[in-house]
Structure 1
Amino acid sequence: MNPSGQRGGTLRYVRTDDFDSLDPADTYYAYTWNFIRLIGRALVGYATDAEGGPRLVPDLAEALGQASEDSRTWTYRLREGVRFEDGTPVTSHDVKYAVLRAAYPEQVYGTPVTRGGPAYFRQYLTGPDGIETPDDRTLVFRLREPFAAFDYLAALPTTIAVPREHDTYPEYHRRPVSSGPYRISTYVPGERLTLDRNPHWETATDPVRTALPDRITVRLGASGPEVDRILLDGEADVDLAGVGVQPETQALVLADPELERQVDNPRTGFVWLYCLNQNIGPLKNVHARRAVQYATDKAAMLAAYGGDAAGEIATTLLPASVVGYDHFDRYPVGPEGTGDLEAARRELARAGLPDGFTTRIAARKDRTKEWNAALALSRALARVDIRAEVVPFTSGDYFTKAVGVPAYVREHQIGIVMFGWAADFPDGYGFLQQIADSRAIKETGNQNLGELASPRIDALLDAGAATRDDKERARIWATVDRAAMDEAVMCPYMYVKSVVFRGPRAANIRMSPAYGMYDYAVLSVVDGEARAAEEDTNTR
């Protein structure tokens, strides 16, 4: 929508909280993955095909990976002419170092280090020696197990090149070195970020990004309602998170024909869910967890996000946009979606808890809709005497210091964690592995928040990863979905649609199914350059 080849101007984002991290080894928020591509280039990237689906394309590499017969060895060759912001060439050694500092940081830094990004490379590489660089442009990855879709892993931020001599860990997140079209000019965490052009980026070497704006700014730390006001008043062009406006604003923009022209309502591929930790108090009992599932008022939780325009009631972990989706409903909550209280009470009796129990719900209070959904869940559980206190957290350290730290969860007896998830890549493995594989549980930055530990599920994930046949692979992911739901450690309650309001200056509007939001690699602005520059100066 609104296509334009106009070059120049300032593209202005706004966001409630900060980035989780601009260090490519430590990031796990979808909007950061989408945005960080403006700064750094991974081996593989995504383009949107004519049908609107994500398509893997070579990015820093000149072609997709060459696989051995057994899918255990993958080879990539880098493009010529790609340079860092200081003009030095990007080499295979820089990519190898980036992967090693993410996957084996203790080897790189000589001290134990926890990472907040995905752990696929540590899981699959044969070890720190599992990456070879026979020359400055060639990388060879050797895997301990076959992985038939390794190009998806090569598209993760983990493969964004990091020059060893400029690695300022633990402060690298403040000023990562650019290999993309933009470099960081100013970054005040929690307040603002400014990107200016990387003078050594060349359009001819980059099939993913258009880099039309001269400057990109991000205003951080606004409340949800304030983000909406900023967008409506024309002080910003796009909400960085891409999750949509507040329910009150949603009603306003959908009722006004003029404003509605600036609204998009796509299915995002995100699923809102909550996790039940099987190591916390009464929730150690599967019947107690199933009681929570049955007692959930999914209709009220959907209403907290804005109702039908914001999404649909979910019954499966996998959304329809991910390979492996197969509709089923393990815990029906009634035709109105308000809960099956009799089924919940039967499960409580089976757990030996006829009088209910007490637990705690973690939610991010700076995400108004999530917080209100948590309150709706608490009220619904109270109907069957499950007393659940909602405990507030902030987004910035939610996973790195709180709910993503199993020791913290146990110490504070947090039984339920509000959560949102989308595929790391648009395949059942990319959605399920990090949240359902026991081997993905980490000391910090953990995403398997229910601490699900099922040998059967682990084995199914391994089998699917090695499977080249698309239909069989999809069947395996559907089986994993059912097996995980049977354990009742995750309750999906909403397939997400976004009611996204964009400023009139935003151009080249294209949804990225890979990230569930606008494609930030091609977004730009038209007209109003002088006004944008003036407003940007006034906000500094």
Structure 2
Amino acid sequence: MRGLPQVKTRRVTAGVASVLALSLGAAACGGGGDDNDGGGSGKKDAALNSIVNASSKKGGTVSYEHSDVPDSLDPGNTYYGWVQNFSRLYGRTLTTFKPAAGKDGLTVVPDLAESLGKSSPDAKTWTYKLRAGVKFQDGKPVTSKDVKYAVERSNFAPEALSNGPTYFKSYLEGGDKYKGPYKDKSADGIKSIETPDDRTIVFKLKQPFADFDYLATFSQTAPVPQAKDDGAKYVQHIVSSGPYQFQSYEEGRGATLVRNPQWDPKTDPNRKALPDKVTIKFKVNQVTIDNDLLSDKITGDAAGTGVAPQTQPKVLAGKNAGQTDSSYAGATQYIALNLKVAPFDNIHCRKAVQWGLDKQSVLDAMGGTPKGDVATTLLPPSVNGYTKFDTYATEGNKGNAAKAKAELKECGKPNGFKTILTARSDRPAEVAQATAVQASLKKIGINVEIKQFPAGKYFSNFAGVPSYVHANKLGMLSMAWGADWPTGYGFLDQVVNGAAIKPSGGNNLMELDDPKINKALTDAIANTDDAARTKAWGEIDKMVLDNASVVPVVYRKNLLLRPKSATNVTVTQAYLGMYDYLLMGSSK
């Protein structure tokens, strides 16, 4: 998940629960208190495993700011983790992650559905029954057909909606043939999603998929009334099924959400919906956001990636240090080396970067230990299937110039080469990372030019568009990725599977399409043996590193800052270690 997500009993649960419990326990060592203790507003790391400033008071306005724009606030056209988190305010999905502190926040619970999915013995058929009485903001009942249509438009219409993942397209029977609702005008739609009555929806898969309840948490299952859909323009008049609806939306500027009078709390055990209003403003400089948090002018930074490197020393050394939470993001910051852009079509040129990069200097430039730990694998330690290894180990993570130069000679570039590295312009830590990479690689003769792009269009217009990447010779692409759900498949599939390469909006920025890796992913998710599947994820991670197209840099942490007026504040590991926006309130 761009930024990224326990759980039910069944084949995947035990391993995930143990790994995440350990990681959360480690993350929570810095402080906290008992859950819902209502205190801790001045305690560092208090929100890692408790709810800070717990309140049941209704009213007030929650205000967010963001340094850029979203890929889209349309639940069917987004992949950013913060939008997945934020969209739960106005879109209910079949299942969701429980709004709760600590490891309880990783529990998948029913949302629009009455219960978790009922699976066939072979995990190829999944059935959900919707709760009775759920309505859209216009008073019309939400039906299973509205959920089916939401999946169809979000997965099968790349000409209009290209930003989100395509798991449903990949796994539904006939998914490779269905043309999507804007081209296929038949009343039936895709036949492998059945709606035998208004409250029942059945998904028929072409192969076993043991993680389906995780997939059902995606905003793509938030219902959309077909009569109100107009493709990419739907974002301007989203029809709410949650406790809030849009009062206003201005492209590129922001939005205001107010109460949805048709929302019935009796049908929704997950949302308290305490604030009267939620506002969000886009294109605010990150340092300005940090200062607004420090002065208690806003409730939260919507991006959820933490304060800027230049703000960090002031925050940690000042009176506001007790209002910070150093949260593990369950995400890896890495550099994608595009296999279609010379000289990275040569594995030895890719290995030259692997050996030559001083990762410690990169972490230091990003803000040091509060921003994370040096990464040696693509999978972060909090994801089920993580295996500790270091294919390109160097002393102190400082790089090895001799080995790098030997690889340069092997790739026919003994004197080095020129390339371009992308970074998102509104993310100071990523720009700092790029600058450090540039300085590090220059020492071995690789001259890196940095080109910056806006985060909101980074995947749809630039780094995620192969034709643009090739035409502009973007050989190195900055990337941060968190698990769509906390298993190896939930992390790896959309970034290393050849099937994830798209004309735009893609996340496989390396354009890695290795038949052995693709097959290993498919075989593993179909394996009903928990231990074998878990082992497979680590083996696939090693295959990716052997290919050398991914350069892991940092296992991400976020130095989050909560103002004193924020209530019900807790970190959710389900959404990349940001605060849970479904719970957050304000005393203002």
Pairwise same-fold verdict (TM > 0.5)? yes
Residue 423 of structure 1 deviates from its aligned partner by 0.4
**Contact 1:77/1:137 (<8 A) preserved:** yes
Among residues 41, 50, 55, which one is paired with 1:4 in the alignment?
55
The match for 2:248 is 186
| 2:460 aligned counterpart, secondary structure | helix
1:254-289 Cα shifts (integer Å, max 9, x gaps): 112x31121111111121111000110110011110
Among residues 273, 283, 293, which one is paired with 2:344 in the alignment?
283
Among residues 89, 99, 103, which one is paired with 1:38 in the alignment?
89
Q: Following the alignment from structure 2 to structure 1, what is the Cα–Cα distance between the partners of residues 380 and 203? A: 31
Q: Which amino acid aligns with 2:402?
A: E
Residue 445 of structure 1 deviates from its aligned partner by 0.4
Q: How does 1:282-301 map to 2 (within 5 A)?
A: 282-301=343-362
1:44-69 Cα shifts (integer Å, max 9, x gaps): 10014764550110110101111111
Residue 147 of structure 1 deviates from its aligned partner by 0.5
Q: Following the alignment from structure 1 to structure 2, what is the Cα–Cα distance between the partners of residues 53 and 41? A: 17
1:301-329 Cα shifts (integer Å, max 9, x gaps): 21222111111111111111111011111
The match for 2:47 is none
Residue 412 of structure 1 deviates from its aligned partner by 0.5
> Does 2:165 align with 1:118?
yes
Q: How does 1:2-81 map to 2 (within 5 A)?
A: 2-47=53-98, 48=100, 51-52=103-104, 54-81=106-133
The match for 2:505 is 445
Q: Following the alignment from structure 2 to structure 1, what is the Cα–Cα distance between the partners of residues 206 and 530? A: 22
> Does 2:137 align with 1:85?
yes
**Contact 1:358/1:386 (<8 A) preserved:** yes
Q: Runs of 5+ in structure 2 lacking a partner?
A: 1-51, 175-189
Q: Which amino acid aligns with 1:104?
A: F
**Contact 1:114/1:443 (<8 A) preserved:** no
Q: Following the alignment from structure 2 to structure 1, what is the Cα–Cα distance between the partners of residues 439 and 485? A: 35
**Contact 2:569/2:584 (<8 A) preserved:** yes
Q: Which amino acid aligns with 1:7?
A: K
**Contact 1:180/1:201 (<8 A) preserved:** yes
RMSD: 1.3
Residue 6 of structure 1 deviates from its aligned partner by 1.3
Among residues 158, 168, 174, which one is paired with 2:230 in the alignment?
168
Among residues 480, 488, 493, which one is paired with 2:548 in the alignment?
488
**Contact 2:497/2:517 (<8 A) preserved:** yes
The match for 1:403 is 463
The match for 1:357 is 417
Q: Which amino acid aligns with 1:192?
A: G
Q: Which amino acid aligns with 2:126?
A: W
> Does 2:521 align with 1:461?
yes
1:201-233 Cα shifts (integer Å, max 9, x gaps): 122211322211110111211111111111112
The match for 1:210 is 272
Residue 114 of structure 1 deviates from its aligned partner by 5.1
Q: Which amino acid aligns with 2:336?
A: C
| 1:397 aligned counterpart, secondary structure | helix
Change (3 A) 1:50 1:296: closer
| 2:520 aligned counterpart, secondary structure | helix
Q: Which amino acid aligns with 2:172?
A: L
> Does 2:484 align with 1:424?
yes
> Does 2:308 align with 1:249?
no
The match for 1:413 is 473
Q: Following the alignment from structure 1 to structure 2, what is the Cα–Cα distance between the partners of residues 8 and 306? A: 37
Q: Following the alignment from structure 1 to structure 2, what is the Cα–Cα distance between the partners of residues 346 and 53? A: 48
1:5-36 Cα shifts (integer Å, max 9, x gaps): 11110011111011110112210111011001
Q: Runs of 5+ in structure 1 lacking a partner?
A: 107-111, 530-540
| 2:96 aligned counterpart, secondary structure | strand
| 1:284 aligned counterpart, secondary structure | coil
Change (3 A) 1:191 1:49: closer
Residue 168 of structure 1 deviates from its aligned partner by 2.3
Q: How does 1:98-113 map to 2 (within 5 A)?
A: 98-105=150-157, 112-113=159-160
1:467-496 Cα shifts (integer Å, max 9, x gaps): 223222110111111111111111111111
Q: Following the alignment from structure 1 to structure 2, what is the Cα–Cα distance between the partners of residues 267 and 103? A: 30
The aligned length equals 520
**Contact 1:295/1:333 (<8 A) preserved:** no
| 1:61 aligned counterpart, secondary structure | coil
The match for 1:393 is 453
Q: Following the alignment from structure 2 to structure 1, what is the Cα–Cα distance between the partners of residues 195 and 364? A: 53
Residue 174 of structure 1 deviates from its aligned partner by 2.1
Change (3 A) 1:8 1:53: closer
| 1:271 aligned counterpart, secondary structure | strand
1:82-125 Cα shifts (integer Å, max 9, x gaps): 1111111100010011111112227xxxxx44521001000001
| 1:265 aligned counterpart, secondary structure | strand
**Contact 2:155/2:164 (<8 A) preserved:** no
The match for 1:512 is 572
Q: Following the alignment from structure 2 to structure 1, what is the Cα–Cα distance between the partners of residues 354 and 191? A: 45
Q: Which amino acid aligns with 1:405?
A: V
**Contact 1:364/1:392 (<8 A) preserved:** yes
| 2:344 aligned counterpart, secondary structure | helix
Change (3 A) 1:385 1:50: closer
Q: How does 1:200-239 map to 2 (within 5 A)?
A: 200-239=262-301
**Contact 2:161/2:231 (<8 A) preserved:** no
Q: Which amino acid aligns with 2:154?
A: A
| 1:283 aligned counterpart, secondary structure | coil
**Contact 1:49/1:55 (<8 A) preserved:** no
Q: Following the alignment from structure 1 to structure 2, what is the Cα–Cα distance between the partners of residues 496 and 174? A: 33
Deviates more, 1:472-481 or 1:202-211: 202-211
**Contact 2:435/2:450 (<8 A) preserved:** yes
Among residues 559, 570, 578, which one is paired with 1:499 in the alignment?
559
The match for 2:33 is none
Q: Following the alignment from structure 1 to structure 2, what is the Cα–Cα distance between the partners of residues 219 and 411? A: 34
Change (3 A) 1:49 1:16: closer
Give TM-score scaled by structure 1 length.
0.94
Q: Following the alignment from structure 2 to structure 1, what is the Cα–Cα distance between the partners of residues 547 and 398? A: 22
Change (3 A) 1:270 1:50: closer
| 2:152 aligned counterpart, secondary structure | helix
> Does 2:391 align with 1:330?
yes
**Contact 1:230/1:236 (<8 A) preserved:** yes
1:338-363 Cα shifts (integer Å, max 9, x gaps): 21111111111121211111111111
> Does 2:403 align with 1:343?
yes
1:501-537 Cα shifts (integer Å, max 9, x gaps): 11111111121111021111111122xx3xxxxxxxx
Q: Following the alignment from structure 1 to structure 2, what is the Cα–Cα distance between the partners of residues 314 and 52? A: 27
Deviant stretches of 4+, over 4 Å: none
Q: Which amino acid aligns with 1:93?
A: K
Q: Following the alignment from structure 2 to structure 1, what is the Cα–Cα distance between the partners of residues 101 and 128? A: 23
Q: Following the alignment from structure 1 to structure 2, what is the Cα–Cα distance between the partners of residues 228 and 181? A: 29
Q: Which amino acid aligns with 1:34?
A: N
> Does 2:329 align with 1:259?
no
The match for 2:29 is none
**Contact 1:22/1:174 (<8 A) preserved:** no
Q: Following the alignment from structure 1 to structure 2, what is the Cα–Cα distance between the partners of residues 329 and 210? A: 45
Change (3 A) 1:480 1:295: same
Q: Following the alignment from structure 2 to structure 1, what is the Cα–Cα distance between the partners of residues 270 and 409? A: 56
The match for 1:535 is none
The match for 1:538 is none
**Contact 2:154/2:161 (<8 A) preserved:** no
